[in-house]
Structure 1
Amino acid sequence: MNDRLSRLQLSPSAAVKQQLDYPVIDTDVHVNDYTPDLEDYVTNYGGVHLVDALRKASEDRIARGGVGNGKSWYEQTPEERHYYRTIRSPWWARVTKNTLDVATYHLPELFAERQAEQGSDYSVLFPNNVLAPLGVRDKDSRTALSRAINHYHADLWRKHSAHLTPVAGIPLHTPEEGLAELDFAINTLGLKAINIAGSVSRPIKALADKFPLDQHPELKKYISYQDFLGLDSEYDYDPFWAKVVELGVPILTHYGSQGWTGRSSTSNYMNNHIGHFADGTEAFAKALFFGGVTKRFPKLRAGFLEGGADWGARVFIHLVDRFEKRSRKGLENYDPLATDRAQLAALFREYGAELIKDRSLNGEDLIRDTLGKGYVNGSRRPKESELEDFAAAGIESAEDIKSRWVDNFFFGSESDDRTIAAAFNDKANPLKTKINAIYSSDVGHWDVPDLTHALAEAHNLVDEGIISEADFKAYVFENPYKLYTEANADFFKGTAVEAKLKATAKV
């Protein structure tokens, strides 16, 4: 007890929290599973073959897949890495020196005891195995393993539900698969939030027909594309989004892009890592926006974690800027029929005599020689349905963009991420808007070597004048609270958050 009190008194985050009159909600806390216990649970749940599937999926995730010679990056020589284009994966990616934290991330009782040191009233947990089943190709095994792991985490953390809740991992290879696992996780296990990947890798049919994957498995990575679920998708995911809204479930994702073009260094992990969560989740978020998902489901709430919040502001700015130029009205400036042929010819005769010499200015010749043959009369004109990229999103004004980008989406920003200033910069953001930045400490990963420092680091942003006290409150409480309660008004019922709000209201 004395040791616990001593730790609490030494925690800089606990000291910050004592000064706040509102709850702190941490939207991104990573915990590890004690492997023997998890594997025993999986075995009892579905047999030893599920353990084999889990182990293989974990190994493949570390190896990053793709062309190889059966060796991991660390086993290959530099020449082999270059030859096979094996991208550099992380090394020493977990906290080790801080032994107390190592134990904390594995032991629910210890984590619950230390949450006050973390500086949070409520934390949403992301067990590192939660999306491991996505690497399992066989659907039946993937389904069984998803259920086993979600069930394990639900049982493991249930007694601490007043302060902690684990997410459920939901595979979305098809909408039907996602719907089945969503129903099990929410209605059977009683979990409240889900974690999904932002895309599904699918074969490019024209290449898969030419190079069948059963004959050329090493080409899987290179003859595939990413289906971002909301735009140009292989399937209609609307039934899944509809069920998510009906059940009141916030969608969360840590979707990265390591291995994509520009993030495929064979020697440098930091080159592949910096910005990859922002890139990956940006692709997913834009698919939901341009595919009209947020138009059709205005109550859908999605949190994009680990990528920072500045990209949410940047994309919002670009959406508004580009809508002004590329809306249906704006496109009138680029219609080939809008060019005054006679005026253009007259200007060339007056100012371009040295250029045109004896060349023809008659008919569509000048149009062809200046703008290109695609602009001459008689060239193919796009159909009305092909003309405007904002059509499916139903955008008619900048206010519509705010409604379908800012209101639906929340952007996880880690405690030491100074780029959060862009989210709260209502002078630069259109319509004087502040983006929904949410506190996502990411404790449990290598970027937080001490869990007692995260909230204090976040408050340093106020001390340094990067954000205001009001912004800090929005960051660690108001925006996370909106994310979860706008999806499900009862999300915090019976939790420490509800208790603290009630106590504060009586003061």
Structure 2
Amino acid sequence: MTGAALSAAEIRRDLGHPVIDADGHLVECPPVLIDFVRQAGGARMAQRYVETMSNGAWGKWQDLSPAERRERGIIRRPFWAMPANTHDRATALLPNLLRERLDEFGIDFQVLFPTVAIPFISGAIDAEMRQTMCRALNLMYAEVFRGHASRIAPAAVIPMHTPAEALAEIDFAIGTLGFKTAMIAGTVQRPLPAVAKVAPELGPYAFWIDPLALDSEYDYDPVWRRFNELRVAPCTHNNSMGWGLRRSASSFVYNHIGHFAAAAEAFCKALFLGGVSRRFPNLRFGFLEGGAGWAANFYNDLCEHFEKRSLPALRAHLDPATVDRRALRGYFERYGDDRYRSVAAAVEQGWDHALIAPEGDEAEPTDEFAATGIAKGRDIMRVFRKNYFFGCEADDRMTAVGFDARLNHYDLKLNAMLGSDVGHFDVTDMAAVLGEAYELVEHGLLAPDDFRAFTFTNVAALHAGMNPAFFAGTVVEDAVRAAIFGAKAAAE
């Protein structure tokens, strides 16, 4: 029988290991959420939230003509983004029903993330609104999932526009409310300073993307240090619709395809090249919903850039001072026509390179890998193997690329992990997610051992690798201890 013919519960029974969902979702019930916004920020902020959602960037599109949308740069946002199946829609809204149906889905344990948080933590929302919404969501999720800790771990929402606001909410959500994982924006949209000085109202249009760990406006090391001290793996779930080429006024599909991957790559590149993973070698990060395809491309590209752009490689192969200018002039004189021969003398003086690299060359090249502490290419593999984890949806066939050691430098299998995305439009039948994922095995794209890593051990390693007690008291506690810490620990 195929995964499509078997129920999710039957597939789970035959697997012989638990299934941990790295990325489920609740869709916030607006009247309930508004109560928590009122609790966090008072009646005025509750009213502001209603107005923001009704009249802000998410609500304008429907009220404008196509010409007005183009003129104002209003992009097509999500629409019809929740299941129409009544049972599934109710499940997306009601924590108790979600808990009740996990066995039906073949899911033993779920790490769960908010929905409405994304525009508030990654967009150009003012500080008061952003901080109030994060606090409200944390209060709400702590309360509505109380009593479900054996099966569901909700994520705290941490604003990242400044280190100070991040630290304040980390201490409240994790220190006071007891969250065990955190959702962050791996990038922050900031107005261009030169434009903001003269026309601050243009901030939504004239902006730059701060990836937090490289060339940032702030030093975020105190934030990474706090996560590390608290043994919490931050997970980025970030929106890049509205950046660069993802600005179609008519097509949500155009804007949506690849946007999680683009945002995750920006953050992952910054973490690596900015040296965060060297300074905090035990800190693990989750990059959710973008898949493993971008991660494989980035990892291999990074290895290949290191081969060509590390400081030893630059000096060995690209130093303009090593060019034999007299010999180069000779080539121009022997092989060039009159036009090329006429510039041969200038080429000997370096004129050719001045045109190719008009900014000129530094006497000593920049070592762009200095912050990473990388000495050889295999060191890159070790960082990816230990520190970076990649959430993939069930129907994403590019997951197989992440597990294909033949394709990835140094035979790496990326830490790809199943993120169901239940609650959102991607999942039209919540009970079919595990069967859809299992088709990777049936079609020969994943070996059973890889599927075990995909649905169980990789997400377990992300969270238990940071905090050995993450799964304590859950239905998967013993299985995680055995898989991650070995048979000896399981027997203690």
Aligned partner of 1:439: which letter? L
The CA distance in 2 between the partners of 1:240 and 1:401, in whole Å, is 23
> 1:221-300, aligned counterparts within 5 Å?
221-300=204-283
Assess, with a 3 A threshold, how the Cα gap between structure 1 residues 417 and 141 changes in structure 2: closer, same or farther: closer
1:136 touches 1:142 (CA, 8 Å); kept in 2? no
The CA distance in 2 between the partners of 1:301 and 1:319, in whole Å, is 19
Secondary structure of 2:283's counterpart equals coil
Q: Aligned-pair distance for 1:501?
A: 5.4
Q: Which moved more, 1:441-450 or 1:495-504?
A: 495-504
Which residue number corresponds to residue 371 of structure 1? 353
Unmatched 5+ stretches in structure 1: 1-9, 65-70
The CA distance in 1 between the partners of 2:226 and 2:180, in whole Å, is 13
Alignment deviations for residues 407-457 of structure 1 (CA, whole Å, 9 cap, x no partner):
211111100111111101100100011001011011111010111000111
Aligned partner of 1:88: which letter? R
Residue 325 (structure 2) pairs with residue 338 (structure 1): no
Assess, with a 3 A threshold, how the Cα gap between structure 1 residues 373 and 128 changes in structure 2: closer, same or farther: closer
> 1:75-224, aligned counterparts within 5 Å?
75-96=63-84, 98-131=85-118, 133-134=120-121, 137-211=125-199, 213=200, 217=201, 219-224=202-207
The CA distance in 2 between the partners of 1:81 and 1:14, in whole Å, is 47
1:345 touches 1:361 (CA, 8 Å); kept in 2? yes
The CA distance in 2 between the partners of 1:500 and 1:60, in whole Å, is 48
Which residue number corresponds to residue 349 of structure 1? 333
Q: Identity of paired residues, percent?
A: 41
The CA distance in 1 between the partners of 2:418 and 2:105, in whole Å, is 13
1:485 touches 1:491 (CA, 8 Å); kept in 2? yes
Alignment deviations for residues 2-21 of structure 1 (CA, whole Å, 9 cap, x no partner):
xxxxxxxx982111101122
1:462 touches 1:468 (CA, 8 Å); kept in 2? yes
Q: 1:451 aligns with which of 430, 443, 460?
A: 430
The CA distance in 2 between the partners of 1:19 and 1:27, in whole Å, is 21
Q: 2:472 aligns with which of 479, 493, 501?
A: 493
Assess, with a 3 A threshold, how the Cα gap between structure 1 residues 373 and 448 changes in structure 2: closer, same or farther: closer
> 1:405-420, aligned counterparts within 5 Å?
405-420=384-399
Q: Aligned-pair distance for 1:375?
A: 7.0
Alignment deviations for residues 3-41 of structure 1 (CA, whole Å, 9 cap, x no partner):
xxxxxxx98211110112211100111112222222223
Q: Aligned-pair distance for 1:59?
A: 4.0
Secondary structure of 1:53's counterpart equals helix
Alignment deviations for residues 167-215 of structure 1 (CA, whole Å, 9 cap, x no partner):
110001111110110011111000100001111121211222232x1xx
Q: Aligned-pair distance for 1:355?
A: 4.2
The CA distance in 1 between the partners of 2:377 and 2:39, in whole Å, is 54
Aligned partner of 2:94: which letter? L
The CA distance in 1 between the partners of 2:431 and 2:98, in whole Å, is 12
The number of aligned residues is 480
Aligned partner of 2:400: which letter? A
> 1:428-443, aligned counterparts within 5 Å?
428-443=407-422
After superposition, the CA RMSD in angstroms is 2.4
1:201 touches 1:226 (CA, 8 Å); kept in 2? yes
Residue 306 (structure 2) pairs with residue 323 (structure 1): yes
Aligned partner of 1:340: which letter? D
Give the structure-1-normalised TM-score: 0.89
Secondary structure of 1:277's counterpart equals helix
Unmatched 5+ stretches in structure 2: none
Assess, with a 3 A threshold, how the Cα gap between structure 1 residues 111 and 155 changes in structure 2: closer, same or farther: same
Give the structure-2-normalised TM-score: 0.92
Residue 297 (structure 2) pairs with residue 314 (structure 1): yes
1:289 touches 1:405 (CA, 8 Å); kept in 2? no
Q: 2:7 aligns with which of 4, 12, 37?
A: 12
Residue 389 (structure 2) pairs with residue 382 (structure 1): no
The CA distance in 1 between the partners of 2:154 and 2:437, in whole Å, is 23
1:301 touches 1:408 (CA, 8 Å); kept in 2? yes
Alignment deviations for residues 269-318 of structure 1 (CA, whole Å, 9 cap, x no partner):
11111111111110111011111111111111111111111111111111
Secondary structure of 1:86's counterpart equals coil
Assess, with a 3 A threshold, how the Cα gap between structure 1 residues 460 and 353 changes in structure 2: closer, same or farther: closer
Question: Stretches of 4+ moved more than 6 A in 1?
Answer: 502-507
The CA distance in 2 between the partners of 1:369 and 1:382, in whole Å, is 16
Q: Aligned-pair distance for 1:83?
A: 2.4
Alignment deviations for residues 467-506 of structure 1 (CA, whole Å, 9 cap, x no partner):
1111100100011111111111111011111145579979
The CA distance in 1 between the partners of 2:129 and 2:329, in whole Å, is 69
Residue 56 (structure 2) pairs with residue 53 (structure 1): no
2:161 touches 2:188 (CA, 8 Å); kept in 1? yes
